[in-house]
Structure 1
Amino acid sequence: MAKASWTTHPKVLGVRRRSAPANLLVRAMENFRNHRTGRNATLVAHFGFLSVFPLLLVFTAVLGFVLESYPNLQESIIDSAWNRIPFVGQQLKTEPSQLKGNALVLVAGLLVALWAGMRAFNVLQMALDDVAEVPRDARPSLVRSRARSLLGIAFVGGAQVTTAILTSLIGVAGVSTINRVLLALGAVIVNAAVLAATYRWLCMREQSWRQVAPGAIAGGVAFAGLQYTGTAIVGRAIANAGPVYGDFATVIGLITWFSLHAAIALLGAELNHALPARRYTDADAELADAASSPQASTT
């Protein structure tokens, strides 16, 4: 006997019929399971973890060349980039931040980052197509998928550099409170714009900017909140893993950090997918009847 989903429980169905926001929330959570979004978020986090160190090596090496005459600004931007990874970044930045502009480091880091980054964006494309329920035959070819991944790396990477610079400016002495607020708002806007472009360009289902805006805005705000709460979350993960994994607990913390970002990004996509049918409809009733029927309860 298969256990019926909690989403079809009579009390839950009653709430869904009365409240459009509640039905939207339940739909998004149900889709999160049906689209295997949790698994896809884990894969994105895995390849994101593999790419972060070579990307930071490239970032540091490029700054070493471009800002060679401005060491203070260079150090401020590098610190800001590492500080975007709470708790873990403080522990790990001591060694990479000592790197100077080095052509060998730049090439090696770029190659590894390119490989891992492309894998991460390939998985992200698959995840967004799963959320949008794009048929397998309508999904991009190998060559087109890789080209879209390169576009995603360039766009998201550039946006992250912009956000890191904005974050470093927030911490500059002498910046007024209102300017700090405006810079923080600018970082939220950049994050939301990146998510909107990601939802629109990396998914094969055609979507307008208006359709992707709700999930992008929610994700941008969530990312901003994660910058403030991330230290506590990642610190707790490291503390819990420390007695068992020792020094490897830092890796657990970093993967946790990436998993949270991947989950937020994909939950935003799920929100966009669920919004058009946020009110309880006849289709919901048919699905509930099918899930609770005797045929659905047998294996």
Structure 2
Amino acid sequence: MESAMSLTDALHELDRRQQERPRIGFIAAVIKKFSDDQAGQLAALISYYAFVSLFPLLLVFVTVLGFVLQGDPDEQRRILNGTLGQFPILRDQLKLHSLSGSALALAVGIAFALLAGVGVTNAAQNAFNRIWNVPFKHRPNFIFIRLRGLGMLGILGAQAIVSTVAAGFVGSASHAPLAVAGGIVVALAFNVALFMTAFKLLPALDVAWRDLLPGVIVATIGWQLLQHLGGFYIDHELKRTGPLYGFFALVLGLLAWLYVGAQLTLFAAEINVVKARRLWPRSFFSDDLLTADKRALTASAEVEERVHDEDVEVSFQRQDK
């Protein structure tokens, strides 16, 4: 009994200390909100839709690239090698397979790829609306959210293609250190623009551009590191496996890569929300709520407002600290 009490006292003391240190308290508040929003489950849903749609979308891209650069195989190979470096888990598989046949077959493939891609944007919109505590009554309806998702898929897809092609062209044009560094810089610049656009468009509310920058920087650097880790996994693990194990390793590796990437993106979005709304310091104990805790809990409860005539009111019995 005494050991349990001492452990509780120690945890309360640790909680008090993180509240007194702004930087540590900020990180703790981001982690707390990430947990409160069940962002891990939201990331799992995004990664599922991304798993279903990523291969057909990239397969269509590889095929279109083959049509466009049909007369220049060297240029096609150079851009393709650099582009697939942005998606290391699928790199070797996409080099082996591409859509072939008539333009009609390609059009059908594009249609199915877009249908799967809309699932990703819908899941991402739901996640960002949850993170920003947008009430259901202010979110797009069943039809408009899909039309909005299709538009965002086109915008973000175009930016992603430009980013990967540009980075691939610069990075694969030469093995010289300057060219490699140029490819990294180009990829980082385009990824900043890509994440800035995504973080601006996904939530159904107007967020100032300056409030998006911290999370965008974290997401950009994190994704760059994740791509390098994926490439390391391919080069040092998958290439040494047999066909059967290699297939399962590819599937599990891709799912894990997408899930970590989705969690990283949502964590970066949580950084923006906590900073923009000053939701720190937070307490990790429900019997010792701070002002930031009450603001966060109130916003979370108001998410459940589903019609315009519905207003959720939140009250706390204890006074603010």
With normalisation by structure 1, the TM-score equals 0.82
2:50 counterpart residue number: 48
Once the 2 structures are TM-superposed, how far is the Cα of residue 39 of structure 1 from its aligned partner? 0.8
CA distance change for structure 1 residues 94 and 198 in 2, over 3 Å: closer, same or farther? closer
For residue 289 of structure 1, give the secondary structure of its aligned residue in structure 2: coil
> What residue identity is the alignment partner of 2:254?
L
Per-residue CA deviation, residues 26-67 of structure 1 (Å, 9 max, x unaligned), is 111111111111111111111111112221222122222221
Percentage of identical aligned residues: 27
Q: Does 1:30 align with 2:32?
A: yes
Tell me the equivalent position of 1:198. Answer: 198
Q: Which residue of 1 aligns with 2:293?
A: none
Indicate the residue corresponding to 1:76 in structure 2.
78
Amino acid across the alignment from 2:65: L
Q: State the distance in 2 between where 1:243 and 1:58 align.
A: 25
Aligned mates of 1:102, 1:164 — CA distance in 2: 26
Measured in 1, the distance between the counterparts of 2:263 and 2:110 equals 26
Which residue of the partner structure matches residue 180 of structure 1? 180
Gaps of at least 5 residues in structure 2 are 1-7, 291-316
Closer, same or farther: CA 184–37 of 1 in aligned 2, 3 Å: same
- Provide the C-alpha distance between the structure 1 equivalents of 2:279 and 2:193, rounded to a whole number of angstroms: 24
Deviation at 1:148, TM superposition (A): 1.7
In the alignment, is the contact (CA less than 8 A) between 1:121 and 1:149 conserved in 2? yes
Which structure has greater helix proportion?
1
Task: Please give the alpha-carbon distance, in whole angstroms, between the structure 2 residues aligned to 1:253 and 1:79.
Answer: 20
The AA in structure 1 aligned to 2:79 is I
- Structure 1 residue 236: deviation in Å? 8.6
The corresponding residue for 1:229 is 229
1:67-93 superposed Cα distances (whole Å, 9 cap, x missing partner):
122121112222333332325422x12
Contact 2:174 2:180 in 1 (8 A): no
1:279/1:28 CA distance change after superposition, 3 Å = closer
Deviates more, 1:228-237 or 1:110-119: 228-237
Which one-letter code corresponds to 1:95 in the other structure? L
Partner of 1:16: 18
SS for the counterpart of 2:172 is coil
| Contact 2:238/2:249 (<8 A) preserved | yes
- Cα–Cα, structure 1 residues 218 and 102, in superposed 2: closer, same or farther, change >3 Å? farther
Distance 1:233 1:20, change over 3 A: farther
CA distance in 1, matches of 2:259, 2:91: 16
Instruction: Return the alpha-carbon distance in structure 2 between the equivalents of residues 33 and 138 of structure 1.
Output: 23
Q: Which structure would you say has the larger Rg?
A: 2
**Cα 1:61–1:105 shift into 2, 3 Å:** farther
Superposition TM-score, scaled by structure 2 size: 0.77
Per mean C-alpha deviation after superposition, the further-off stretch among 251-260 and 60-69 is: 60-69
Query: For the aligned residues, what is the CA RMSD?
Result: 3.1
The equivalent of 1:3 in structure 2 is none
Task: Give distance in 2, aligned partners of 1:13 and 1:40.
Answer: 27
How far off its partner does 1:177 sit? 3.2
Change (3 A) 1:242 1:203: farther
> Given residue 181 of structure 1, which amino acid in structure 2 is its aligned partner?
A
**Closer/same/farther in 2, CA of residues 176 and 117 from structure 1, 3 Å limit:** same
